[in-house]
Structures are given as C-alpha cells and as structure tokens.
Amino acid sequence: MADKKKLFIIAGLVVFLDQITKVLILKALPIYHSIPVIPGFFSITHIHNAGGAFGFLADYSPSIRSIVFLFASSLAVGLIYYFYKNIPQTHSFLATGFALIFGGAIGNLIDRIRLSVVVDFLDFYIKNIHWPAFNIADSAITIGIFIFMFHLIFKKLPR
C-alpha cells in the first residue's frame, strides 16, 4: 500500500502553495486586473471561476453550482484517497500523481467552500488567443492526470 505520509506531504505542499498564492492574488491584485510577466505570452491575471474546468456550469445559478461542485469535489477527494491507499509501494510515480490530484482537488474545494468561486490567475496567451486562466491546484491536478494517463497508456497500472 502507498505511504500515507507521502500523500500528506505532497498534497499538503500543493494545498499550501495553492492557497498562499490565491491569498496573495486576492490581497494584491483587484479582480480582472493583470500584470504582464512575459508580454504577449503570460500574465498574472485575477479571475474568479464560478464554474468548473473551462467555465463548465458557470451560467447556472450559484446554488446549483455550489451543490454540484461541492458534491463532485468531495466525491473526487474521497475516490482519489481510496485509489491512493490501494496503490502498491512499487508504483511510487503513480502514487505521486494521485497525491497531486488529491492536493489540487482539496485546494479548489477550499475556494468553493470559502468563496463560492475558484481564484485563477495564471494567464497564458498568444496575442488575443487565451488559454483559460488557472491556478496551482489546477496545475497539480493536470500533472497528476498526465501521470495516471502515462500508467494507463503504457499498461503500468497495478494489477
């Protein structure tokens, strides 16, 4: 079984970095304001995402969104924890991926509970073509999913 200490270290670091960066953005940068970092490519932009990934369900009422996202996030956290604790110690890289997803899900769940929205601020673009803004939690989830997909595609999942 995967080491729970590793889960809490990795997930804890993700949650800490995610929440500290969001607090800094909330305090230092007004909503919809932007600081160019690499002109024409990357800015720190304060955005609130009321929906899910890519604004999914953003147009629904706040009460419907809250119910759906709090339920889905809680379910995801529970499932990821279940999968993590059943990963054999021989699959350390896969365990790392699940720990990243777990930490990212908790980071965004904290925002939904605390603010009813998720704070996003990493804004990549080329000219006027923008990738949807995201945050540290989203990055951890994405990296974790890529690690899981690697194991799935190359048939390296535990049996």
Q: Based on the residue annotation, tell me whether 59 is a catalytic residue of this protein.
A: no
Report if residue 78 sits inside a domain. yes
pLDDT confidence of residue 3: 85
Residue 106 pLDDT more than 90? yes
User: How many whole angstroms separate alpha carbon 84 and alpha carbon 5?
Assistant: 12
Q: Based on the residue annotation, tell me whether 3 is a catalytic residue of this protein.
A: no
Average pLDDT value for residue range 16-21:
98
CB atoms within 10 A of CB 2: 22
Report if residue 110 sits inside a domain. yes
Range of the domain at 89: 4-26+47-116+137-153
For residue range 43-53, list pLDDT tens digits in order.
999 999 987 76
Count of domains observed in the chain: 1
CA-based nearest residue to 137, from 8, 12, 15: 15
- Tokens of residue 56, six digits: 């999914």
Report if residue 32 sits inside a domain. no
CA angle 153, 3, 22 (to 5 degrees): 80
Report if residue 90 sits inside a domain. yes
For residue range 62-94, list pLDDT tens digits in order.
788 778 888 888 899 999 999 999 999 899 999
Report if residue 122 sits inside a domain. no
Report if residue 125 sits inside a domain. no
CA angle 94, 99, 103 (to 5 degrees): 150
User: How many whole angstroms separate alpha carbon 16 and alpha carbon 25?
Assistant: 14
Tell me the residue length of the chain.
Answer: 159
Q: Is 29 helix (H, G, I), strand (E, B) or coil?
A: coil
Of 18, 111, 123, 138, catalytic: 138
Q: Are strands 42-49 and 34-38 parallel, antiparallel or unpaired?
A: antiparallel
Residue position matching structure tokens 């110690």? 89
pLDDT confidence of residue 53: 66
Of 18, 111, 120, 123, catalytic: 120
Average pLDDT value for residue range 124-146:
96
User: pTM score > 0.85 for this model?
Assistant: yes
Q: Which helix (H) or strand (E) holds 149?
A: helix 136-153
Report if residue 127 sits inside a domain. no
pLDDT confidence of residue 64: 82
Report if residue 20 sits inside a domain. yes
